Chain A
Amino acid sequence: MDKSKGDLSVRLEIWVKFDKDNDTKLALSFEEALAEFLKANESKIKVGFSKVSYKSHK
């Protein structure tokens, strides 16, 4: 982001107890819930957010 133009960015991380590789069903449900939450709030307050990325702790 170009902060000189007043643009700002904040990275948010949500740490979860499961690993996608070991519990795909739970991961899918969680991702659906997260997408739903982001979509609902995006329309409410009009702020951009990037695509959600995933990182295992192993």
Chain B
Amino acid sequence: MVENLKLKSRWTVWENFVLTGAYQSDEAYKKSINKVFTFSDLNAFASMWNNLNYHKPVSTFFFDPVKKVNKKYTISPPFSEQSLTIDIFANLRFEVKDRQEMEQISTINLFRNDIAPEWADPENKNGSEYQFMLEGSDPEVIDEYWQELVLAIIGETFKLSDQVSTR
């Protein structure tokens, strides 16, 4: 049994749903973000990641390369590691398996503590962001890169990781 896998920080996963229409108000944006999960140790992180299908190639989480359509999901209820019992795991798997075709997810967000994925959050409003694209034809390779980055951030092995909020 592996113990003491506590992370330095608590992290929260959020999903954004695609907003439609030309004008996207702050209120509409707030409604489009959904808190999915909080965790502060590696066991909870790994369980959450697998059960929400984030472990599959992240590019195919958003896009079905066979049907060539954007995938849609139902909204997941928020879970925290405190609620992760065996039964809850079973329910979570069931929930994910039976997600209905409803909402197109645009973004998976990972933020420290309870920071929300919005510029107006007090922790973000004086900050900034760096963006880059991962591009290729092999979704599993893209996924490997994505997971390397996620693990570096939550493991805080990234230099200056205390400056990362992040997304």
Determine chain B's interface SS by DSSP, over half rule: mixed
A52 touching B160 in the complex, CB below 8 Å, given contacts A7-B136, A8-B65: no
A10 touching B59 in the complex, CB below 8 Å, given contacts A17-B123, A48-B135: yes
A56 to B158, Cβ gap below 8 A? Answer: no
Query: Can you name the residue of chain B whose Cβ is closest to the Cβ of A36?
Result: B159
Contact of A53 among B127, B131, B139, B146 (CB under 8 A): B131
**Interface presence of B137 (CB below 8 A):** yes
B126 to A57, Cβ gap below 8 A? Answer: yes
Q: How many B residues touch A, CB cutoff 8 Å?
A: 44
B129 to A16, Cβ gap below 8 A? Answer: yes
Residues from chain A with Cβ under 8 Å of B114 in the complex: none
A14 to B159, Cβ gap below 8 A? Answer: no
A7 to B132, Cβ gap below 8 A? Answer: no
A18 to B63, Cβ gap below 8 A? Answer: no
B133 to A18, Cβ gap below 8 A? Answer: no
A10 touching B133 in the complex, CB below 8 Å, given contacts A37-B158, A47-B145: yes
B132 to A45, Cβ gap below 8 A? Answer: no
28 contacts between A and B (CB under 8 A): A3-B65, A3-B68, A6-B137, A7-B137, A8-B135, A9-B59, A10-B62, A11-B133, A12-B132, A13-B167, A15-B117, A15-B127, A15-B164, A17-B126, A19-B128, A38-B132, A41-B149, A45-B141, A47-B136, A48-B134, A49-B133, A50-B135, A52-B130, A55-B129, A57-B126, A57-B128, A57-B129, A58-B126
B interface residues with partner A (beta carbon < 8 Å):
58-60, 62-63, 65, 68, 111, 117, 119, 123-139, 141-142, 144-146, 148-149, 152-153, 158-160, 163-167
